Structure 1
């Protein structure tokens, strides 16, 4: 079903609940809550596609909805994150069907009819899933072309044939990806969860977040690792970081539990990593410790700059980050899927926006909440759900795009970061949107159940 964006609404997508395997994830590894990522309650599921919007998103409409191909007969893989590069979409895969769904490559020559033309990273390591993929054009003495980095996580860390970390592929010809190398993290952790690929001149770096690496390796490896992949065949770790040694952090640590100055005990682990355009600053999402900012301009001499902080009544859950306004504004999404917790506000996860002109002292400008944020059931058994929390952020110009599981994709005007305004939403039928990626000509959304969604502009009629 197609529709156009209407005044004063938001961009959103949705999906059916996937039949994924029950696995434990970064945010609940050491906790007492274990639900399937993307799991939703029945009252969140809508069979109606909604597309609404105003301002610069009013002409966006769904032009394509493409399921993933079955690469093994009778096995349906679920979609994870999405990325685009040079007219091709790259979608990671989640755990449904036993994982090993690899990265799917779609030719977007005709965005209204994307063609899945290749799959890679699906057979390299058994018992794994390939969530995150980033693609960049690089030029070094060892490699010239388009380089893809893919996160690898284990379904069972006790499987002797499995291992986690990240894979590197040559996708210069997207129709024929070629494996270049693999970087392995400590065997006991589940692997690299989220990551980012950046360049510093002719140097190529991967920022890898491997939650609980410090815990499971007894301090031999850290949650955040900065890896030189200038030669993709020979990844080399340059630096690793864990905040427990920072004098700048008040309070004390007991393993992965931070005893904050306000008396609360909070979880702290590295969930995601992101870098600015010139690869000089890293933004690490460290859950209840906030977003940590590191100067990585000299990878051999990394320096701590600052971090965001939460109010005492806020669950932290710093999940992912994005930048706006030339890197002077930080977008922080918080994945809170347990809205009722003693001592905290009753709320699902929402977005926070910071002024980071002074990176040593991030200043909160605003908080953006959707209609789902405080839509909390009175029934405790229906409260725990991923369906109503924000997930990942992307920015193009003055528009912030947020993936929101059952809430689809939301478009937010951040021309004035102190006063964000929702200007669009796209919620496909049975939405379960994991990721969103924006380009000048289209918006891509990855739906865990139904595959790749493509929203395209039609500036003539908006139909």
Structure 2
């Protein structure tokens, strides 16, 4: 566990009766992840790489310290032709900030800010590109709360004018660590963190709650959660949701990764009949537990299934038909690096019959591991500098870029999924790399200590 550190108390600038001003939570990792930030300058500035950084096959093009405390980001495009505008939205402990990338993508220009000091956690923030909306998940630990009885929910932010970010609505939700769009952002799936004291004692964490945001000014939260019994029959912590190019929503958390259809007429392998899938009543598709020999903690942080235009698993091969692979990260913090979280590439073969939903401690079902990768012992790593755990990643073609906290940003060749290979890396001495994003040929990294780093793969 990374040592906890404090953050200064400050006011909250929000036109929401439900939100009040407190200090930020002091925590780190999925149930406790936190590296405090500050830096709330009105305009962005860009700094160059300090001499203490280590890189291979990567150019560091700039840094935005104005976004210190960054956790996640997204990109929106506005206008057409000569009026086209490329905007980066960064969420973090400060709330939400917008930057213009149009003129020079390596020197973002500050546009606007929705100030929410003490906000937590906005991890893996999502946007509705059509309606220009941003959805921010409020963890119960935000604004000095706690997992036992703190308030969680979702802020819906209007980004139609990126220089004037405004809150459309706020709704309380029983979960609030992450929130994800499903069915073209008509609904949100919100999960995590650890369970509240009011929740069933046999739960290991919060599952998924569904929110209807077709009317963004009046979100509707459905009372019954979904993705129950995910950990060998036990309802447990769902950390995040990723939707693949075919529309399957993959839930990652303690107990593995499971995929659901959220639309269309589908065969339900659990109920053994055809039925209509919806965001509120999804149909199980595939997935299950991850082998403990690959990921000892079984706490899976996020996932990616390469299908459609994002296909990168080599198509038909020894792994069977296309779309048979799932990339999953384990978040785990152990002394040194050897036992920290890893990237796992697993096969979905043999899991489309509902096996992951029938798994029990007595008769466990586990996906077959195809390959793994850990930063431990890799070139450019320093176990004495801090956490080595895997965190968010992004894939383009055969190159996967991934954050490893204090071990920085790593680029992996995954053309052979049985042997992921590091081809480049960038690690700052003060790195707290949380989430990298491919965008227009560059990689933007949300770094909780440094703000946003802008990198270019040179290999």
The normalised TM-score by structure 2 is 0.70
Given that 2:73 and 2:88 are in contact with CA atoms closer than 8 Å, whether structure 1 keeps it comes out as yes
Provide the aligned C-alpha RMSD in A. 3.7
1:33-112 maps to which residues of 2 (within 5 A)? 36-37=34-35, 48-53=52-57, 60-68=58-66, 78-86=69-77, 87-94=86-93, 101-109=94-102, 110-112=104-106
Superposition pairs of residues 57-456 of structure 1, within 5 angstroms: 60-68=58-66, 78-86=69-77, 87-94=86-93, 101-109=94-102, 110-120=104-114, 122=116, 130-138=122-130, 145-153=131-139, 154-157=142-145, 163-186=151-174, 192-200=176-184, 204-213=186-195, 216-218=198-200, 223-238=207-222, 240-244=225-229, 250=232, 253=234, 268-278=236-246, 280-287=247-254, 289-297=255-263, 298-313=278-293, 314-326=296-308, 328=323, 329-339=325-335, 347-356=339-348, 360=352, 362-372=367-377, 387-456=387-456
Deviation at 1:103, TM superposition (A): 1.0
- Structure 1 unmatched ranges of 5 or more: 1-16, 30-34, 40-45, 54-59, 70-76, 95-100, 139-144, 257-267
Instruction: Pick 1 or 2: higher relative contact order, CA cutoff 8 A, min separation 6.
Output: 1
Q: 1:445 to 1:26 in 2, by over 3 A?
A: closer
Change (3 A) 1:372 1:47: farther
- For residues 387-412 of structure 1, give each alpha carbon's deviation from its aligned partner in whole angstroms, at most 9, with x where no partner exists: 21111111112211101111111111
State the distance in 2 between where 1:376 and 1:447 align. 17
Q: Which ranges of structure 2 fall in alignment gaps of 5 or more residues?
A: 8-23, 38-49, 78-85, 264-277, 312-322, 356-366
Q: Deviations over 1:359-395 (max 9, x none)?
A: 5274422111224589897xxxx7xx96211111111
Give, in angstroms, the shift of residue 85 of structure 1.
2.6
Alpha-carbon distance in 1 for matches of 2:335, 2:261? 34
TM-score by length of structure 1 reads 0.70
Q: For 2:290, what is the secondary structure of its paired residue?
A: coil
The 2-side partners of 1:457 and 1:367 are apart by: 22
Label 1:197 to 1:312 Cα distance change in 2 as closer, same or farther (>3 A). Answer: closer
- Checking the alignment, whether the CA contact within 8 Å between 2:338 and 2:376 is kept in structure 1 is no
Moved over 6 A (4+): 373-377
Rounded Cα–Cα distance in structure 2 between residues aligned with 1:47 and 1:331: 34
